[in-house]
């Protein structure tokens, strides 16, 4: 039985975050436009470089995933084509952070990050990114709703 909580769909005792196309879609469109400009200006190097980057960016959307595994009590994050999957036990999560990049009064990027302890060092991993602060807040609320019964409060 498959159900959903906000931005996550449930498969067994795992919650898998739905794909976030918005931010990547804008980048792929921009790279495709640069590819088209390179094609029309007879600049083959520009066409190939931006074309390959557009394809790689599009492929990275289909390889990234964020999974909350309630059986193992871990957050699994896979971003990008080359980076390995990160396994973060709920007990190692210290906090979540929302960072926002604004350029000339225009929000360019909003990222939801998770801070966790690994081998005694504090590390950070990106959970999701997009344009709006409210979308990232909804994802964070969904994560907290799903993990609340499994996380012990640390004082």
Q: Which domain CATH number covers 146?
A: 2.30.29.30
What pLDDT sits at residue 13? 87
Q: What is the structure's pLDDT at 153?
A: 57
Q: Which domain holds residue 137?
A: 4-19+64-152
Q: What would the pLDDT profile of 44-56 be if each residue is shown by its tens digit?
A: 899 999 999 999 9
Residue 155: what pLDDT?
A: 41
Question: Rounded to whole angstroms, what are the CA distances from 65 to 20, 40, 87, 95?
Answer: 10, 36, 12, 20
Span 125-137, pLDDT tens digits: 999 988 888 889 9
Q: What is the mean pLDDT of residues 96-119?
A: 89
Q: Are 13 and 76 in the same domain?
A: yes
SS3 115: strand
The pTM of the full predicted model, rounded to 2 decimals, is 0.80
Query: Are residue 73 and residue 47 in the same domain, yes or no?
Result: no
Q: Are residues 74 and 87 in the same domain?
A: yes
- What pLDDT shows up at residue 2? 58
Residues 95 and 134 in one domain: yes
137 Cβ contact list (under 8 Å, min separation 6): 98
What does pLDDT average to over the chain? 87
Do both 75 and 106 map to the same domain? yes
Domain count, the chain: 2
Contacts of 38 by beta carbon, 8 Å cutoff, 6+ apart: 44, 45, 46, 47, 48, 49, 50, 51
- What is the per-residue pLDDT for 122? 93
Q: Are residues 145 and 78 in the same domain?
A: yes
């Amino acid at each position: 039985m498959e159900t959903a909580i906000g931005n996550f769909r449930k498969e067994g005792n795992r919650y898998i975050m739905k794909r976030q196309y918005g931010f990547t879609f804008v980048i792929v469109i921009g790279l495709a436009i640069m590819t088209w400009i390179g094609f029309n200006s007879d600049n083959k190097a520009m066409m190939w470089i931006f074309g390959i980057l557009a394809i790689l960016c599009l492929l990275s959307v289909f390889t990234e995933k964020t999974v909350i595994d309630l059986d193992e009590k871990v957050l699994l994050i896979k971003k990008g084509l080359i980076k390995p999957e990160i396994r973060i036990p709920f007990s190692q999560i210290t906090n979540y952070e929302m960072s926002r990049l604004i350029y000339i009064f225009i929000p360019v990027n909003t990222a939801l990050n998770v801070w966790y302890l690994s081998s005694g060092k504090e590390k950070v991993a990106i959970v999701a990114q997009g344009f709006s602060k409210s979308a990232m807040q909804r994802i964070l609320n969904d994560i907290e709703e799903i993990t609340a019964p499994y996380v012990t409060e640390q004082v």
